[in-house]
Structure 1
Amino acid sequence: MAIHPVDQRLPIARQSAFALQHVLIMYTGCITVPLVFGAAVGLDRSTVAMLISADLLVAGIITIIQSLGVGKVAGVRLPIVCGATFAGLTPMILIAKEYGLQAVYGSMLVGGVVGIALAVPFAKIVRYFPPLVTGVVLTVIGISLIGVAGGLIVGNDPTSPSFADPKNLALAAAVVVVAVAFICLGRGMWTQLGVLMALVIGTVIAIPMGLIDLSGVGGSAWVGFPMPFHFGAPEFPVTAVVAMSIVMAVVFAESTASMLAVSEITGKPLKKADLARGLVADGMSGVLGGIFNAFVDTVFSQNVGAVATTRVYSRYVTATSGAILIVLGLIPRMGEVVAALPDPVVGGVGIILFSTVAVVGINTLRKVDLSDPINTTIAAVSVGIGILPEFAEGMFERFPSSAQILLGSGITLAAASAFSLNLLFNHTRLGELARRSRESLHPAAQTEPATSSAGDASAIVPV
């Protein structure tokens, strides 16, 4: 019996080379999350370095689980690479500022447990998360995080002498220019490594500008293991737990999109049981993230693109990528070096990554029948509600502090709005009656069946 390409093992040299390429492609996106989170909540460099190590360690573990599987319990067994998602970034920052870091990781841990419990039911109701919902959420995630990138470039304290320093703006602009040059003019792998090269070149430019301090790097250990519950015993504020549980639902939608895409690319059918096991692994990332002070993981779309481009479908390649990530996570000095990157460089990279997420969301919405006024209204209202907190800062300041965690996150508002409105108007008789009424008034305007107006969940674009 022929072995499916997904289950084939490659010669060790070739397998290692493709595995390293996967790591290089996803590395910048993975480490950006702890860098941005650390800067937003005011963590010192050594603590950010610890977050980076924990982030890489958990990403490696989850990548191996997803690639190889754990019995009938977890892992989709497809060639995918996982890493920290931007979806949880804003809620985590809000929770940290309100309740502290113990609450961030306590709520993440519980959110992971909730995700594991809901993996099987979610796999059965994935049709309620079509491109109309995921497209809105991804668009809002990208837009809402651009302000965070701007804070890294400009600064967050207007009274600081370095606030809006022209040299910081110039450095960030140089990072963007380098990334655009590699991505648009490069060939082959250089195109995929454009953001990473911008990070490296931007750091080199920052050295003569005096923006890099590596004095603390030499004192860190070469080998070490992230300490569980580094910030103390976890805490579980109800509002924070609810927020991180919503994040898990968003992550499920992201990962489902990517797993469906990989299934189509490799030609290996994805059953509901396979999808459920993949989502269990996502939930496990929340549990491990809560324990080791890391982040919730999702399937990285850039690595999905690499699978399609290289046509190397072996899941043992991505499992090897997971092993490389684990090794990197066990080298604290590596985390110290990354944590020393100047904020303007990280901010410049963040602009590209966050804007790309927004554009992917817009591209996802293109799969929706936006000639249908109901779908257009759902998308418009949900995006508007989602980005409103970013443009009207302090709009919920008179609400209880617990409520501000949920209402202050545009991602949470967008997800709740898009899901509820889509459910109401595309999965009940109300929307059907509205469309029939419109057809009776304008029979020539309706040429597509109403059932396809929200888009098929199987057509979700990966993130």
Structure 2
Amino acid sequence: METVTYTGDDDDTIIVVEEQKEGDHLAEVQREARKRADSILGKLTSSMTYKLADRPPWYSTIVLAFQHFLTMFGGCLAIPFVLGPALCIEGKVILLSKLLATICFLSGIQTFIMTTFGVRLPIVQGPSFAFVVPLISMMNVREACPAGGDNSTNVEDNAEFYSRMQETQGALIVSSFFEIVLGFTGIISILMKYIGPLTIAPTVTLIGLSLTPVATEKCSVHWGIATFTMALIILCSQYIDRLKVPCLGFSKSNGCHVFRYPLFRLFPIFIAAVLSWLLCFILTITDVFPNDPSSPNYRVRTDANSEGVANTPWFYFPYPGQWGAPSFSAGGVFGMSAAVLASIVESIGDYYACAKLSGAPNPPDHALNRGIGIEGIGGFLAGLWGACVSATSYSTNIGMIGLTKVSSLLVIQVMSTFLVMMGILLKFGAVFATIPEPIIGGIIAVSVGMVTSVGISNLQYVDINSPRNLFIVGFSLLLGTSLPDYMSKNPHAIQTGSATVDQIFAVLLGTSMFIGGLTGFILDNTIPGTPAERGIGKMLSMYSSSKNDDDNDDAIGDDNELKTEVSRLVNQCYELPYGMSYIRTWAWTSRLPFCPTFSGLDCNCKPKDQLWRRKPRETDGTDTKEK
């Protein structure tokens, strides 16, 4: 080190020497922290072909992005058909295609915002089935849909659809604001301490079970085609999913070569839909299906809605208020708010799963809070545009990251542009809107089965042999099934004297996931049970943002300054893409739950103690607990 000579007062000389020592120590800490952080990240990303910040070649990026697009498009496609009868647009190709275009357009915007400013993981945002159940409950309170002609463009004929959509928009806007508050204030990280598997399991399970009548109605148009579609999906996804198709490829290193592609594992729904559609086309041109519109099997023909496709314009740009000004109802707001809670729980689990498959460290609290807040903003935009449901993370696309070993954010951001383009090219949406109903029914049936099984899988964390847990699960599912069924048959059973209160109770009591989830939450938090029996401790240990530090304490040692720097470098992927130099210099940002410098919140319910308390930045390892 170069010797610095300073002439002046002795006190000034001492200050300069101390500053030099402090600077040398800081540089040494940064070098050591970088070395250890690189070692930790190297272990996490050792199996990844392209990591989060990598930029694959443009041709690979396009192919990988299109692959993600095909994987999630089935979810976008199913929502309009599921909600068509409730929104009074069943069989109206133009309105269905516009709704599909709006959903795709908003999903693209939400995906781009989430990957850029949200949780900063390669997570695809798509329409959530959690919002379908309360929306159908909202519509059941209203009068039946008026009889009208298919493919009508007359405003008066479609007035009921506009009215229903406006009510849906208002409920979605208010409930999304509720999600924004939960995320950006950090409250959700505290609530998760009381929401355990016995609350999550009946909530998600009932989402699937409540959609069974929708799948049955679509399949009943022609059970043969529906069964053929389901059989193809099961064949591709379960039996021949490991069979890889030989394909020709080219690279600079290997030139022209043959590689094997897991086609059936990645696109089971797409393959089944195309083959079933082709079968319906063959049976249509050979007049196996009747050409009489009054026949039940007429809806299986591929040309049943050809006039609607011809009348649909090529381009359409979704815009806010396209269905009219939002209207607000108390029942709709409460019902959608229940869906928000279910969506939040699902998304948090997906964040951790995505981080694990992407070779990233577990997301810290600020990333979780920001992700939920951004999902709320996405729902707010969906309410303004009229996408009828909010978005959530798609687990199928997360699973694809594990298959392809590509977690690049750029790939997902390019995929989001595909969704936006799909929303603008209305003619393509109209073509997909003409898919025969039995094919849609088969796709919905398999999708609903997967949603139901995901809910049941949450019971892996609890002691399933415990009579306490068996009672909570069974009673929650029973009440969540029977009470909404009663309300659907008796929509005017609630008579309190106030129309607003009647609507609130009618929607909430008709929403199965709300009844089942609330019942499970109350019973799980009031009936005595050990932490191991309840499964909350096991679930939180898997979904703990502090697990990164715990796993590497032995390697880092007891130097708190070094620990802090290593933690910052390891979690650097969760920092915002812009403005970090300013955020680190502003001390007040450590109090914002969505900022990367956030120091944490804690909820302590002990008497004579503060409810909100900041976690200390650093500890010296000694026990400072009050005695």
TM-score range, shorter chain: 0.7 to 0.9
Which of residues 231, 252, 259 is equivalent to 1:177? 231
Uncovered stretches (5+) of structure 2, i.e. residues with no partner:
1-33, 46-50, 143-163, 244-261, 290-297, 496-501, 544-627
Q: Secondary structure at the match of 2:307?
A: coil
Shift in alpha-carbon separation, 1:394–1:327, aligned structure 2, 3 A: same
Instruction: Verify the 8 A CA contact 1:56 1:328 in the aligned structure 2.
Output: yes
TM-score (norm 2): 0.64
Q: Which amino acid aligns with 2:223?
A: L
In structure 2, C-alpha distance between the alignment counterparts of 1:280 and 1:115, rounded to whole Å: 6
Give 1:404 deviation, angstroms.
1.6
In structure 1, C-alpha distance between the alignment counterparts of 2:279 and 2:532, rounded to whole Å: 56
Give 1:390 deviation, angstroms.
6.0
1:382-439 Cα deviation digits (max 9, x unpaired): 12222224655525641245122111111111122222222324xxxxx15xx6xxxx
Greater per-residue helix proportion: 1
Alignment of 1:456 with 2:558, yes or no, is no
Instruction: Verify the 8 A CA contact 2:202 2:513 in the aligned structure 1.
Output: no
In structure 1, C-alpha distance between the alignment counterparts of 2:175 and 2:369, rounded to whole Å: 16
Which of residues 385, 391, 396 is equivalent to 2:479? 385
| Match in the other structure for 1:115 | 179
| Match in the other structure for 1:338 | 432
In structure 2, C-alpha distance between the alignment counterparts of 1:396 and 1:40, rounded to whole Å: 15
Alignment of 1:26 with 2:72, yes or no, is yes
In structure 2, C-alpha distance between the alignment counterparts of 1:300 and 1:457, rounded to whole Å: 22
TM-score (norm 1): 0.86
Instruction: Verify the 8 A CA contact 1:367 1:459 in the aligned structure 2.
Output: no
Say which one has the larger Rg: 2
Instruction: Verify the 8 A CA contact 2:462 2:532 in the aligned structure 1.
Output: no
Give 1:116 deviation, angstroms.
0.5
In structure 2, C-alpha distance between the alignment counterparts of 1:415 and 1:96, rounded to whole Å: 21
1:243-300 Cα deviation digits (max 9, x unpaired): 1111111111110110011122223230111001110121122111111111211100
Following superposition of structure 1 onto structure 2, how do residues 211-360 of structure 1 map, counting pairs within 5 Å?
Answer: 211-212=301-302, 213-265=305-357, 266-294=359-387, 295-360=389-454
| Match in the other structure for 1:414 | 516
Q: Secondary structure at the match of 1:6?
A: coil
Give 1:458 deviation, angstroms.
5.6
Q: Which amino acid aligns with 1:246?
A: A
Q: Which amino acid aligns with 2:374?
A: A
Question: Could you tell which deviates more after superposition, 77-86 or 223-232?
Answer: 223-232
| Match in the other structure for 1:197 | 271
| Match in the other structure for 2:122 | 79
Shift in alpha-carbon separation, 1:352–1:369, aligned structure 2, 3 A: same
Alignment of 1:404 with 2:493, yes or no, is no
Instruction: Verify the 8 A CA contact 2:485 2:510 in the aligned structure 1.
Output: no
Instruction: Verify the 8 A CA contact 1:124 1:272 in the aligned structure 2.
Output: no
Q: Which amino acid aligns with 1:316?
A: L
Q: Which amino acid aligns with 2:494?
A: F
Q: Secondary structure at the match of 1:83?
A: strand
Alignment of 1:394 with 2:489, yes or no, is yes
| Match in the other structure for 1:105 | 169
Q: Which amino acid aligns with 2:187?
A: P
Instruction: Verify the 8 A CA contact 2:172 2:380 in the aligned structure 1.
Output: yes
Q: Secondary structure at the match of 1:127?
A: coil
In structure 1, C-alpha distance between the alignment counterparts of 2:307 and 2:114, rounded to whole Å: 38
Q: Which amino acid aligns with 1:183?
A: S
1:132-173 Cα deviation digits (max 9, x unpaired): 32222111111111111112222xxxxxxxxxx5xx111111
| Match in the other structure for 1:157 | none
In structure 2, C-alpha distance between the alignment counterparts of 1:339 and 1:457, rounded to whole Å: 42
Which of residues 106, 109, 115 is equivalent to 1:61? 109
In structure 1, C-alpha distance between the alignment counterparts of 2:212 and 2:541, rounded to whole Å: 29
Question: Could you tell which deviates more after superposition, 244-253 or 205-214?
Answer: 205-214
Instruction: Verify the 8 A CA contact 2:77 2:100 in the aligned structure 1.
Output: yes
Question: Could you tell which deviates more after superposition, 344-353 or 223-232?
Answer: 223-232
Question: Could you tell which deviates more after superposition, 251-260 or 215-224?
Answer: 215-224
Q: Secondary structure at the match of 2:308?
A: coil
Instruction: Verify the 8 A CA contact 1:131 1:457 in the aligned structure 2.
Output: no
Higher relative contact order (CA 8 A, sep 6+): 1
Following superposition of structure 1 onto structure 2, how do residues 156-167 of structure 1 map, counting pairs within 5 Å?
Answer: none
In structure 2, C-alpha distance between the alignment counterparts of 1:319 and 1:226, rounded to whole Å: 20
1:205-258 Cα deviation digits (max 9, x unpaired): 223135232222133222221132233211111111111111111111110110
Uncovered stretches (5+) of structure 1, i.e. residues with no partner:
70-74, 155-164, 426-430, 436-447
In structure 2, C-alpha distance between the alignment counterparts of 1:406 and 1:396, rounded to whole Å: 12
Identity of aligned residues (%): 25
1:361-385 Cα deviation digits (max 9, x unpaired): 1122223221232222222221222
| Match in the other structure for 1:160 | none
| Match in the other structure for 1:444 | none
How many residues are matched?
Answer: 424
Question: Could you tell which deviates more after superposition, 114-123 or 83-92?
Answer: 114-123
1:339-382 Cα deviation digits (max 9, x unpaired): 11222211111100001110111122223221232222222221
Instruction: Verify the 8 A CA contact 1:131 1:455 in the aligned structure 2.
Output: no
Give 1:63 deviation, angstroms.
0.9
1:295-338 Cα deviation digits (max 9, x unpaired): 21110010111111222121221111111111111111122112
In structure 2, C-alpha distance between the alignment counterparts of 1:153 and 1:379, rounded to whole Å: 30
Instruction: Verify the 8 A CA contact 1:179 1:194 in the aligned structure 2.
Output: yes
1:58-98 Cα deviation digits (max 9, x unpaired): 111111111121xxxxx100011110011110211222343
In structure 1, C-alpha distance between the alignment counterparts of 2:446 and 2:182, rounded to whole Å: 33
In structure 2, C-alpha distance between the alignment counterparts of 1:231 and 1:56, rounded to whole Å: 16
RMSD: 2.1
